[in-house]
Structure 1
Amino acid sequence: MRHHLILRVITKLLIGSIMLFALYVQFHGDYSPGGGFQAGVIMAVAFIIYGVVFSLDEAQRVLPPWVVHKMAALGVLIYAATGVYSLFVGYGFLDYTALSPDYPEKGQHYGILLVELGVGVTVTGVMVTIYYAFTSRTPIMDDEAW
């Protein structure tokens, strides 16, 4: 474990910056390139790098599989709830004006933020789930067979 000390220290320094950049992309996606999908992938990369450097068990201790599965479902729920809310108040599905009828521009902004948040949470959950699935499988051949 000690022979990877520099890699571990650099990884710990980078993970915070990667997550911060993911949040930047998430919340500035409606004004600049980016949004929920890109932010979700970037956020997932932070957890995946942590798992690659420190081990799958450590990554699952930080972000347990049950939380990851709930994230994937929660993101879809946020996305759908935004559209269903607009239906309940008399607008079309995903008509963001329903979120602020007096100020439609604000409604557009809120709606885009909510939908992109849902996409980001779902993508993070799905990408980390895929990583957990691939790394936890039993290999068919041992390393010496290669």
Structure 2
Amino acid sequence: MTHHVVLRVVAKLIIPLILLFALYVQFHGDYGPGGGFQAGVIFSAALILYALVFGLDSAQRAVPTTAVRVLMALGVLLYGGVGITSMLLGGNFLEYDVFAAEPAAGQHLGILLVELGVGITVSTTMLAIFYAFAGRRAAR
């Protein structure tokens, strides 16, 4: 891929914008369309584009497989942890009202944390699937 100079330059320009858009979708999700799942897909699409343009080895140096696995588990733990914490505070599982004195503030915080967990999990799961398939050797 070293001879595709235009592709590499355009990718270097557009990948940060894709990542920025993923963050916008992530943090704007409780105000409008979007949220953790959509942001996770967009975020992983940027990383997959990086791998396609610059090579799988380069992508795995930037985001190692071990980090992907740890973040995948962390996202699930964040989602479940919000639910368990709400139960420990006297509410039902994923009842966000108990996180703050004002229910609206608790709802906002709870949804933000759950959507962040979903975004991390979706992004790293898609990246793990890509790494698994892209790293396979062709059968002869």
State if a TM-score over 0.5 links the two structures. Answer: yes
Is the counterpart of residue 55 in structure 1 residue 35 in structure 2?
A: no
Aligned partner of 2:70 in structure 1 is 70
Rounded to whole Å, the distance in 2 between the matches of 1:25 and 1:70 is: 23
Count residues with an aligned counterpart.
Answer: 140
Shift of 1:99: 0.7
Aligned partner of 1:12 in structure 2 is 12
- Deviant stretches of 4+, over 6 Å: none
Aligned partner of 1:46 in structure 2 is 46
CA-to-aligned-CA distance 1:31-74 (integer Å, 9 cap, x gap): 11000000000000111000000100000000000001111111
CA-to-aligned-CA distance 1:87-110 (integer Å, 9 cap, x gap): 11111111101111x200000011
Aligned partner of 1:116 in structure 2 is 115
Q: Name the SS for the 1:3 alignment partner.
A: coil
Rounded to whole Å, the distance in 2 between the matches of 1:12 and 1:65 is: 22
Aligned partner of 2:130 in structure 1 is 131
Amino acid paired to 1:50: Y
Aligned partner of 1:27 in structure 2 is 27
Consecutive unaligned residues of structure 2, counting only runs of 5 or more, are none
Amino acid paired to 1:16: P
Rounded to whole Å, the distance in 2 between the matches of 1:140 and 1:32 is: 46
Amino acid paired to 1:140: A
Aligned partner of 1:144 in structure 2 is none
Could you say what the CA RMSD is over the residues aligned between the two structures, in angstroms? 0.8
Q: Give the structure with higher Rg (CA).
A: 1
Rounded to whole Å, the distance in 2 between the matches of 1:16 and 1:89 is: 39
Q: TM-score of the superposition, structure 1-length normalised?
A: 0.94
Q: Name the SS for the 1:94 alignment partner.
A: coil
Identity %: 56
Q: TM-score of the superposition, structure 2-length normalised?
A: 0.98
8 Å CA contact 1:71, 1:124 repeated in 2: no
